[in-house]
Structure 1
């Protein structure tokens, strides 16, 4: 079974552990795994599906653990539309309810220029700490590294059932997978800092003209 979202991860944890006494505990194992991963990894890209409230110009996003917003789309009349991000206070507001077109972040809310005329569906992409939930059922880290997410979660499941041997095995896999991910991220950062060859050529030309 593929592991691409919160529900699938919970199912796999329960299936792999094959224990009746862990039913309903998978969410706790995931949360504990994310707690340590968040201390060791950079924020990741996450997609959340939000629902607006008719008559309200805002949506509460306090449960999303966001560090940086990226993009927002609204679906109205079965059509998804890209919304324009602006700084709060730089766009006019109105009390006339309709499909909002502009958005800004204020604290733990997304603010629109107008109230929603209906309970529109929104697709919000942001960078944040790992925090899978029903509201944010997937993130780029889970899609790219499901093995690490699974091993880290089952490790805590093994601690819960007090199976030291199982815990040691999954802790070993967790550490190995984590080291690979950290090395991969370090390589990406080094690649971003590589000097453009054209700049090197330009520097040589400038020196030859001296």
Structure 2
């Protein structure tokens, strides 16, 4: 079974446990698994599909675990429009409903520079904590590491039913987590750039001139 989203992950947990009576518990296992992932791993790139409210210039993101917003797109007339982010208070707010030109984060809301003239579909991308839900069905980490996500949830599932297989899943979880952390560290090292001053050939530390 492919694990592409939150629904797939819940179904896979139930399938691997061979316990159809735990269908309603799978969401809890995933939530508990994500609590551990949030402690061990960095923020994850996530896309949330939201819907604006006509005649309102705010959209709630209280249910999202946003750390850093990245981008926002509105869909209108079958086209996506990029809306740039600005700092709160740096743009003029209009009273006439329209297609917005700016947005900012205000507490647990996205605030536009004008009320929306229609309930625009919104694609909001951000760096955030692990927190899958029906509203946020997938993230970059689940796409790239479905095995780790499943193992993390299965540890809690096995613990719930007191299944000794939980030890096997825990071993896999620890192994997969170590691999991901190692890969992330390697990516960071590869992105480092040496200061150009340190690459100057023949640098004379006494006279501070190139020779």
TM-score (norm 1): 0.93
Which residue pairs with 1:166 in the alignment? 165
Which residue pairs with 1:62 in the alignment? 62
Which residue pairs with 1:139 in the alignment? 139
Q: Which has the higher helix share?
A: 1
CA–CA distance in 1 between the matches of 2:42 and 2:182?
Answer: 13
Which residue pairs with 2:190 in the alignment? 191
Judge conservation of contact 2:10–2:23 (CA < 8 Å) in 1.
no
CA–CA distance in 2 between the matches of 1:16 and 1:154?
Answer: 8
CA–CA distance in 1 between the matches of 2:132 and 2:210?
Answer: 58
Structure 2: where are the runs of 5+ without partners? none
Which residue pairs with 2:90 in the alignment? 90
Judge conservation of contact 2:11–2:23 (CA < 8 Å) in 1.
no
**Aligned ranges for residues 19-34 of structure 1 at < 5 Å?**
19-34=19-34
State whether structure 2 residue 102 is matched by structure 1 residue 102. Answer: yes
TM-score (norm 2): 0.93
3-state SS, counterpart of residue 160 of structure 1: helix
> Cα distance, 1:14 vs. partner?
1.2
> Cα distance, 1:181 vs. partner?
0.5
> Cα distance, 1:200 vs. partner?
5.0
State whether structure 2 residue 11 is matched by structure 1 residue 14. Answer: no
CA–CA distance in 2 between the matches of 1:131 and 1:98?
Answer: 32
CA–CA distance in 2 between the matches of 1:194 and 1:160?
Answer: 47
Aligned-pair Cα RMSD in Å: 1.5
